[in-house]
Amino acid sequence: MQREKISDVTRVLQSVLLAETSAISIYTAQVYWRGPGVQETFAKILAEEVEHQNNFTDLVNPNLVYNLQLLSQKVGGWALGSALSALPRPMVYWLHVLAEMQAANVYRTAFHNIPKDMKDLRRTLMQAARGEIAHARRFQSLLKNSRNTSVS
């Protein structure tokens, strides 16, 4: 019974870490290519995504399938971040609003799938969800500002 609980928690945290790995690769590519957008914002959010990842990395024992999934997220994230670097600035911001809201949902789902007695872990997941919503708001604000100026 306890073993099932641990494997469920591991699965939930793996889904969180896969999403976070993708986000980190996307922002890393955007910072690398210096794509359209406020580079300081991308760099700051990248650092925060790494913090989110660090909260959970030690709690997951890697296996071959998971490592392959991580690799796939890294490559896919880099490709997506590189593609974003070629898009107009407002579209980049808009896509990040959607992606950050999706990331918040990943954390909310994880929160609800973690047993209630694992209070510290649930608290960390909820804090990360709030962090993703804050990211979405930053991009909403950048999107609004970019619509109010003609500079691209």
Q: Is 49 in the site for Fe ion (CB under 5 A)?
A: yes
Question: Hey, how many other C-beta atoms are within 10 angstroms of the C-beta on 102?
Answer: 13
From residue 2 to residue 41, the character string flagging contacts with Fe ion as x (rule: CB under 5 A) and all else as - is ----------------------------------------
Nearer to Fe ion, 7 or 44 (CB): 44
Q: Which of 51, 53, 41 is nearest to 15 (CA)?
A: 53
Q: 108: which residues sit within 8 A by CB, 6+ positions away?
A: 126, 129
Nearer to Fe ion, 100 or 124 (CB): 100
Name the burial class of residue 42, with classes exposed (0-12), middle (13-18) and buried (19+) by CB atoms within 10 angstroms of its CB. Answer: buried
Nearer to Fe ion, 7 or 45 (CB): 45
85-144: contacts with Fe ion (CB under 5 A): 100, 103, 132, 135
Rg, C-alpha atoms of the chain: 16
Residues that bind Fe ion (CB under 5 A): 49, 52, 100, 103, 132, 135
